[in-house]
Amino acid sequence: MKPCAIVRASGYTGRELLSCLQRHPRLRATVVMTARAGAQPEPPVFPGDPTIDALDLARLQAVDGVFLCTPHGAASEIARRALAAGKKVVDLSADFRLRDPALYQRTYGSPHPAPELLARAVYGLTEHARTTVQDAELVANPGCYPTSILLPLLPLLQQGLLDPAAPIVADSKSGVSGAGKAPSDRVHFGAVHENFLAYGVGNHRHTPEIHQQAGTSRIVFTPHLLPAFRGMLSTIYVTPAAGLAASGNAAAALRSCLAEAYAHEPFVRVYAQGQPELRCVQQTNQCHIAVTQSGPLVVLTSAIDNLQKGAAGQALQNMNLMLGLPEGDGLS
Amino acid sequence: MKPCAIVRASGYTGRELLSCLQRHPRLRATVVMTARAGAQPEPPVFPGDPTIDALDLARLQAVDGVFLCTPHGAASEIARRALAAGKKVVDLSADFRLRDPALYQRTYGSPHPAPELLARAVYGLTEHARTTVQDAELVANPGCYPTSILLPLLPLLQQGLLDPAAPIVADSKSGVSGAGKAPSDRVHFGAVHENFLAYGVGNHRHTPEIHQQAGTSRIVFTPHLLPAFRGMLSTIYVTPAAGLAASGNAAAALRSCLAEAYAHEPFVRVYAQGQPELRCVQQTNQCHIAVTQSGPLVVLTSAIDNLQKGAAGQALQNMNLMLGLPEGDGLS
Amino acid sequence: MKPCAIVRASGYTGRELLSCLQRHPRLRATVVMTARAGAQPEPPVFPGDPTIDALDLARLQAVDGVFLCTPHGAASEIARRALAAGKKVVDLSADFRLRDPALYQRTYGSPHPAPELLARAVYGLTEHARTTVQDAELVANPGCYPTSILLPLLPLLQQGLLDPAAPIVADSKSGVSGAGKAPSDRVHFGAVHENFLAYGVGNHRHTPEIHQQAGTSRIVFTPHLLPAFRGMLSTIYVTPAAGLAASGNAAAALRSCLAEAYAHEPFVRVYAQGQPELRCVQQTNQCHIAVTQSGPLVVLTSAIDNLQKGAAGQALQNMNLMLGLPEGDGLS
Amino acid sequence: MKPCAIVRASGYTGRELLSCLQRHPRLRATVVMTARAGAQPEPPVFPGDPTIDALDLARLQAVDGVFLCTPHGAASEIARRALAAGKKVVDLSADFRLRDPALYQRTYGSPHPAPELLARAVYGLTEHARTTVQDAELVANPGCYPTSILLPLLPLLQQGLLDPAAPIVADSKSGVSGAGKAPSDRVHFGAVHENFLAYGVGNHRHTPEIHQQAGTSRIVFTPHLLPAFRGMLSTIYVTPAAGLAASGNAAAALRSCLAEAYAHEPFVRVYAQGQPELRCVQQTNQCHIAVTQSGPLVVLTSAIDNLQKGAAGQALQNMNLMLGLPEGDGLS
């Protein structure tokens, strides 16, 4: 059993990682800490979970890999120390997702805390970065919305199957766990239950990340908050390239492209028919994708569990690769 | 108090109408029937509600107005009889929404049951048909999805503010009450709670209705099922006309157009800022609309209560107009 | 229209009062304030609601009645000032529910803030205190749990139909709105949705209030938190008096007693058969009660809307009485 | 890997079993059937699940163990055939839970379909029947409500810690999955969401099972339907034996008794403090129990996942024992 650490294990993604690692045959969370030194140890979130100790960077010496589940801004310093000690680091925050520190500052409102590390970070959308992740020392784990949008889009963009001039609409809906565990008016039961709304319209922080990884800024992204706890569905509207549109069978072509791209991927499933539902991917590391013609556009629907494939699950895929373990270990 | 009838008062929209009429100062539901002659009377849905009698068309003689809450196909015959008796009819089913009986047949899979009445039917999107509704004898009450999409779109289309070549994406999310009260696998609590999915992608029956009323077939409509009971939010992506887009202030122009169009409408509110939420419109006859720039597109978000403005509330607006009563009576 | 004031209109009960008063024919909320002087005015909770001004006691001069929706402890000083100005006061907090200031201190952990007013306060369980409420200047509005428990129990206790030596079990389940609007770990969507738990077992603050009003301390009360927003159901297990138990028809006798006690009450309904459900009383001021034999005990089930009959609705019943208005005005 | 069969794998408990077996290291579901011969094969419930074949009793020859997830009445004939072929059978229906066929007939309304097998059946409340289950050929898997009530009660009854004359109140609340997967008015989303009610008051079918296993008929059981999918909490009110009550420390004594009884049980946890919540036991085979004094009574709160410890999980515990496998295999 290789030892690893989880920093800020008390949040939703930290707890999800703990849960995955409890059934991992080769990796164990031996160091489970909060994000702040000198903090009171936190009691276990669930009966049977470990107590969460105060942050103590010296303890990272004893592990092979480090998962950072801190808010953005707080991860960089810990990452710096862990990398200096030769540890493998998967950062689930936004600190290393954007390559351009100026863009980071515009997006997150403060200077990048560790610009010198940016060049060493690999963007870990695993299915599209497997070989670089294997050799990486620092992986920026993708955001949940970008994961659900990039997985269906990237193969189509790479194969030139989309009209390069047309906007792409990505209309995403997420369960509340994506907003984190801190209490607020917005996540009060009374504000979520039997409610639904769009938020961050035109200015959500995941937009630059999506644009960077897709290599285009013509993606219009709108997130919404579902009255559900976990799971995310993105409905993506694309315009087929001119030739395809004329063929009258654009959706079939796009579906074939995706089916082929992910034919050997255990965590991505392209539907021949039907629509993905949250309940089919909840508590799994799966991404399920359907492709359907709708008038002049093709509709891609993509479902993931935001806490698994959108966070802890993909982080574990990446860590497994970095440590030379089977990629699917600990993932159902 | 004028007397009116509700046919099929046991469903969600029938019950909603009953509830509105219980606080209506000038209209009373004196005849409350099922959709089938010879059926057993049904017990009240809620304590205090009336018993629902078997259908008896002769009883329509005693009322001034008739609300038809039957499934499509069943409304036409009752409408025919009520019209012959000189009654005002609001049909909440789809029977009189499509002007072309051939399109009806393609959409609903059977010949139109009363093509001779189509020319007498007025499409009752109240704010856009007030004067014709006032004189109508038969009103086709709009579908819930079309209502939530047409209210924000129509003024923009009429004013020529949208690029006539670009597709319009209407991504709609509805509470389960839109699927009706009949039990099925799809509306089982276990299939809805903590779940979310798109359905009818590319082929939902409300699409022809939306196209007909918008006067364009370039609207791509995708409905989704929310884990909520009532309420509907449509997120609509439009491309501003060329001049507006160049001005750099397209969203403001579109917002002004809508604010002006609905300035004196008690049931439509255009937000200066913020996003509409389901909880702001539930149990009301309101439509709340926000307009936001997002990259090259403008995002219209539109929230209604599918059982009120999307069904019973708008039906009551229409009936009030037809009977010469104040339009807002019975509506909060 | 008589003018009235709501102090702390931003919480769930304050907002519910606002909503009731919007349809009240004879009473209008002309003063709508927060609970703190010098506070920033708060924006309307819902579009169309009034702005909530900072507390200004001088403005109470202009009204006839005052609703206090503050937390316990904060109501007393405002009540004192309003009473001194000759206003009618309904206090929805716990400040005037317990007659004994020592018991208040043991229960709420601080000395009673206005013991001199206790003798002037009437406990406003309206159906059981109508005549004293009519003449009262200060009404202590009952807690939501006590309301749901006392309404089915009081007539049985008064008629001597229960075994005076046997414990009474009151197992209550409440929607989250009872916990108030302030964000906390406990009311986070993730802590409530798809969850359920008992809390305050053996020591909930409503227990002394229940014991005082029932005139017995043998009631064992356990509250639970439902994954729902509004509504409360209490399941109460009573032992019939010896003679009744021997008769073999105890439930029928208890049901008759309740049916008779509430025969002319518009807001209490005793079922001849069936079980009350939350959805039958939500958004109403009703209390629905069923009485069922179960082995040696009789089970009373009692459903109310905790924000209406359990708070704002009953408060309005009381204020209507105090101001000489029809008791049901503003209540559906 | 030993082979086993699931009959009626399409329901909630069958699907839960499938899910457990997918992570079982020594047992595999090689035969997955519906409950009816000649039925159409059913498509997988979730992507990745097996197709569910029509019932074919001959295929039971190829397995070591058989799980019956059929409705009551249908299990007996299949059990008879499987037993004749020497297979181990765990029946999750009610067919073999009641020892007295006359009581079965009174409770389920039809004669017992296989009275000759009743003597061979062991009631499989695993922690209280481990040695007899190990040697059994036929196990009657306990109902979900009885499991949640008997686990906290049995040790207290066996140790004589309860007043033998006092009634015991068992107030239970269950998620909707307990009502099964068949659509009905009662499990419609609109009838469950934001609702709550008691049902089967005084006459639920699990009452005789509880009485039989507890060895007393003084338990008054009331089930309720939660607006949640999975999980069950029972709140149980007991009267301590006279000596204990006088000691003033009855809850502590009862808690010690339970803590000792389950000290070495991996699937039962007795809390030293705090209250069990559904979310702590969902998706696990755990039963969590708290013991709290409340006036003259002691309150036992007991939480399980109705689909796991209340059905499939306990069934797997039993099958593991019957086949000589580690009891916890396949259970987290």
Q: What pLDDT, in 10s, does the model give residues A252-287?
A: 999 999 999 999 999 999 999 999 999 999 999 999
| Residues in chain D closer than 8 A to C237 (CB atoms) | 167, 169, 171, 220, 237
Query: For residues D313 and D288, is the Cβ–Cβ distance under 8 A?
Result: no
The pLDDT score that the predictor gives to residue C39 is: 86
SS3 category, C305: coil
Q: What pLDDT, in 10s, does the model give residues C125-165?
A: 999 999 999 999 999 999 999 999 999 999 999 999 999 99
pTM of the predicted model over 0.95: yes
pLDDT at B139 over 90: yes
Q: What does the radius of gyration of chain A's CA atoms come to, in whole angstroms?
A: 20
- Nearest-neighbour CA in chain A from D221: distance (Å): 28
| Residues in chain B closer than 8 A to A250 (CB atoms) | none
Tell me: do C287 and C167 sit in the same domain.
Answer: yes
Q: Which residues of chain D have pLDDT under 70?
A: none
Q: Do B23 and C288 touch (CB under 8 A)?
A: no
Tell me: do C136 and C162 sit in the same domain.
Answer: no
Q: How far is residue D22's CA from residue D20's CA, in Å, rounded to a whole number?
A: 5
More confident residue, A160 or A44: A160
Tell me: do A84 and A232 sit in the same domain.
Answer: no
pLDDT at A43 over 90: no
Q: Do B296 and A199 touch (CB under 8 A)?
A: no
Percent of residues, chain B, with pLDDT higher than 70: 100
How many CB atoms lie under 10 A from the CB of residue D316?
A: 30
Residue B8 belongs to a domain with what CATH number? 3.40.50.720
Tell me: do B107 and B117 sit in the same domain.
Answer: yes
Q: How far is residue B160's CA from residue B164's CA, in Å, rounded to a whole number?
A: 8
Which residue on chain B is closest to A288 by alpha carbon?
Answer: B197
Which residue on chain B is closest to C276 by alpha carbon?
Answer: B47
Q: In the structure, what pLDDT confidence band is assigned to residue A247 with cuts at 50, 70 and 90? A: confident
Max Cα separation, chain C?
A: 65
Q: Do C196 and D217 touch (CB under 8 A)?
A: no
Q: Do A295 and B217 touch (CB under 8 A)?
A: yes
Q: For B240, which DSSP code?
A: B
Residue ranges of chain B whose CB lies within 8 Å of a chain C CB: 22-23, 46-47, 193-194, 269, 271, 279-280, 283, 288, 332
Q: In the structure, what pLDDT confidence band is assigned to residue B328 with cuts at 50, 70 and 90? A: very high
Q: In the structure, what pLDDT confidence band is assigned to residue A46 with cuts at 50, 70 and 90? A: confident
Determine, yes or no, domain membership for A332.
no
Count of structural domains within chain D = 2
Q: Are strands A219-225 and A168-174 parallel, antiparallel or unpaired?
A: parallel
Q: Do B269 and C194 touch (CB under 8 A)?
A: no
Q: Do A299 and B222 touch (CB under 8 A)?
A: yes
Q: How far is residue C262's CA from residue C264's CA, in Å, rounded to a whole number?
A: 6
Per the structure block, which two tokens stand in for B276? 């509409």
How many CB atoms lie under 10 A from the CB of residue A251?
A: 21
Q: What pLDDT, in 10s, does the model give residues B290-323?
A: 999 999 999 999 999 999 999 999 999 999 999 9
pLDDT at A248 over 80: no
Interface confidence (ipTM) of the complex: 0.97
Tell me: do D260 and D190 sit in the same domain.
Answer: yes
Query: For residues A317 and A126, is the Cβ–Cβ distance under 8 A?
Result: yes
- Nearest-neighbour CA in chain C from A12: distance (Å): 10
pLDDT at A198 over 80: yes
The pLDDT score that the predictor gives to residue D44 is: 83
Determine, yes or no, domain membership for A327.
no
The pLDDT score that the predictor gives to residue C46 is: 82
Which of A149, A163, A168, A171 to mutate: most B Cβ within 10 Å? A171
Residue B30: which of B70, B63, B74 has the closest Cα? B63
Phi/psi zone of residue B294: left (φ > 0), alpha (ψ -120 to 50 degrees), beta?
A: beta
| Residues in chain D closer than 8 A to A47 (CB atoms) | 269, 271, 280, 288
Tell me: do A60 and A75 sit in the same domain.
Answer: yes
Q: Do D283 and A280 touch (CB under 8 A)?
A: no
Q: What does the radius of gyration of chain C's CA atoms come to, in whole angstroms?
A: 20
Strand partners, D179: none
Average pLDDT over residues A83-88: 97
| Residues in chain C closer than 8 A to A174 (CB atoms) | none
Tell me: do A131 and A154 sit in the same domain.
Answer: no
Q: Do A227 and B224 touch (CB under 8 A)?
A: no
Residue C279: which of D261, D168, D312, D189 has the closest Cα? D189
Determine, yes or no, domain membership for C330.
no
The pLDDT score that the predictor gives to residue B64 is: 98
The pLDDT score that the predictor gives to residue B153 is: 98
Q: Do B220 and A297 touch (CB under 8 A)?
A: yes
DSSP for C61-82 reads GG-SEEEE-SPTTTHHHHHHHH
Tell me: do C169 and C291 sit in the same domain.
Answer: yes
pLDDT at B248 over 80: no
Tell me: do B72 and B186 sit in the same domain.
Answer: no
Name the residue facing B280 among C46, C193, C271 (closest C-beta): C46
Separate counts of helices (H) and strands (E) for chain C:
11, 13
Q: What number of C-beta contacts closer than 8 Å exist between B and D?
A: 56
Q: How far is residue D235's CA from residue D221's CA, in Å, rounded to a whole number?
A: 10
- Nearest-neighbour CA in chain B from C116: distance (Å): 43
Out of D4, D144, D257, D287, which one is annotated catalytic? D144
Q: What pLDDT, in 10s, does the model give residues A98-109?
A: 999 999 999 999
| Residues in chain B closer than 8 A to C288 (CB atoms) | 47
Sheet of strand A168-174, all strands in order from the earlier edge strand to the far edge: A197-198, A219-225, A168-174, A232-238, A297-304, A287-294, A268-270
Q: Do A269 and D47 touch (CB under 8 A)?
A: yes
Q: What does the radius of gyration of chain B's CA atoms come to, in whole angstroms?
A: 20
Tell me: do A291 and A314 sit in the same domain.
Answer: no
Average pLDDT of chain C to the nearest whole number: 96
Query: For residues C65 and C99, is the Cβ–Cβ distance under 8 A?
Result: no
Which residue on chain D is closest to B192 by alpha carbon?
Answer: D189
The pLDDT score that the predictor gives to residue A150 is: 98
Residue D257's domain comprises: 144-306
- Nearest-neighbour CA in chain D from A46: distance (Å): 6
pLDDT at A80 over 80: yes
pLDDT at C249 over 90: no
The set of chains that have 3 or more CB pairs under 8 A with B is A, C, D
The pLDDT score that the predictor gives to residue C30 is: 96
Per the structure block, which two tokens stand in for A203? 């200015």
- Nearest-neighbour CA in chain C from D273: distance (Å): 11
Determine, yes or no, domain membership for A297.
yes
Name the residue facing C275 among D201, D277, D282 (closest C-beta): D201
Out of B144, B257, B280, B287, which one is annotated catalytic? B144
Residues 6+ apart with CB under 8 A from D223: D145, D172, D173, D174, D198, D199, D200, D204, D206
Tell me: do D170 and D315 sit in the same domain.
Answer: no
The pLDDT score that the predictor gives to residue B287 is: 98
SS (H, E, C) D256-289: HHHHHHCCCCCCEEECCCCCCEHHHHCCCCCEEE
Residue D298: which of D307, D310, D306, D290 has the closest Cα? D290
Per-position b or e across B226-265, b if 16+ CB within 10 A of its CB? bbbbbbbbbbbbbbbbeebbeeeebbebbbebbbebbeee
SS (H, E, C) chain A: CEEEEEECCCCHHHHHHHHHHHCCCCEEEEEEECCCCCCCCECCCCCCCCCEECCCHHHHHHCCEEEECCCCCCHHHHHHHHHHCCCEEEECCCCCCCCCHHHHHHHHCCCCCCHHHHHHEEECCHHHCHHHHHHCCEEECCCHHHHHHHHHHHHHHHCCCECCCCCEEEEEEECHHHHCCCCCCCCEHHHHCCCCEECCCCCCCHHHHHHHHHCCCCEEEEEEECCCCCCEEEEEEECECHHHHHHCCHHHHHHHHHHHHCCCCCCEEECCCCCCEHHHHCCCCCEEEEEEEECCEEEEEEEECCCHHHHHHHHHHHHHHHCCCCCCCCCC
| Residues in chain A closer than 8 A to B277 (CB atoms) | 195-197
Q: Do B47 and C280 touch (CB under 8 A)?
A: yes
| Residues in chain B closer than 8 A to C47 (CB atoms) | 269, 271, 280, 288
The pLDDT score that the predictor gives to residue D247 is: 84
Which residue on chain C is closest to D275 by alpha carbon?
Answer: C198
- Nearest-neighbour CA in chain A from C145: distance (Å): 19
Instruction: Please enumerate, as own/partner, the contacts of D20-25 that have beta carbons within 8 Å and a separation of 24 or more.
Output: D20/D308, D20/D312, D20/D313, D20/D316, D20/D330, D20/D331, D21/D316, D21/D330, D22/A332, D23/A23, D23/A332, D23/D330, D24/D316, D24/D329, D24/D330, D25/D329, D25/D330
Stretch among A52-56, A322-326, C246-250, D5-9 having the lowest mean pLDDT = C246-250
Name the residue facing A195 among B191, B279, B301 (closest C-beta): B279
Residues 6+ apart with CB under 8 A from C52: C9, C10, C32, C33, C34, C41, C42, C43, C44
Q: How far is residue A2's CA from residue A5's CA, in Å, rounded to a whole number?
A: 10
Q: Do D282 and C198 touch (CB under 8 A)?
A: no
Determine, yes or no, domain membership for D245.
yes
Q: Do D47 and A23 touch (CB under 8 A)?
A: no
Tell me: do B115 and B169 sit in the same domain.
Answer: no
SS3 category, D90: strand
Phi/psi zone of residue B162: left (φ > 0), alpha (ψ -120 to 50 degrees), beta?
A: beta
Q: How far is residue A210's CA from residue A212's CA, in Å, rounded to a whole number?
A: 6
Specify the residue for token string 């092979």.
Answer: A64
Q: Do A190 and C181 touch (CB under 8 A)?
A: yes
CA distances to C143, C174, C231 from C305, rounded to whole Å, are 12, 9, 4
The pLDDT score that the predictor gives to residue B28 is: 96
The set of chains that have 3 or more CB pairs under 8 A with C is A, B, D
Q: How far is residue C173's CA from residue A68's CA, in Å, rounded to a whole number?
A: 40
Which of D171, D255, D289 to mutate: most C Cβ within 10 Å? D171
Determine, yes or no, domain membership for A151.
yes
How many CB atoms lie under 10 A from the CB of residue C322?
A: 23
SS3 category, C20: helix
The pLDDT score that the predictor gives to residue D246 is: 82
Which residue on chain C is closest to A186 by alpha carbon?
Answer: C183
Average pLDDT over residues B149-171: 98
Residue D220: which of C294, C169, C242 has the closest Cα? C294
Q: What pLDDT, in 10s, does the model give residues A223-241?
A: 999 999 999 999 999 999 9
Out of A4, A20, A69, A144, which one is annotated catalytic? A144
Q: Do A47 and D280 touch (CB under 8 A)?
A: yes
First to last CA, chain C: 19
Please identify every residue of C annotated as catalytic.
144
Which residue on chain B is closest to D182 by alpha carbon?
Answer: B185
Q: In the structure, what pLDDT confidence band is assigned to residue A127 with cuts at 50, 70 and 90? A: very high
Name the residue facing B47 among C46, C193, C269 (closest C-beta): C269
Residue A230 belongs to a domain with what CATH number? 3.30.360.10
Query: For residues D312 and D92, is the Cβ–Cβ distance under 8 A?
Result: yes
The pLDDT score that the predictor gives to residue A47 is: 78
| Residues in chain C closer than 8 A to B194 (CB atoms) | 193-194
- Nearest-neighbour CA in chain A from D269: distance (Å): 9
Determine, yes or no, domain membership for B92.
yes
Determine, yes or no, domain membership for D264.
yes
CA distances to B64, B312, B328, B329, D141 from B324, rounded to whole Å, are 11, 18, 11, 11, 66
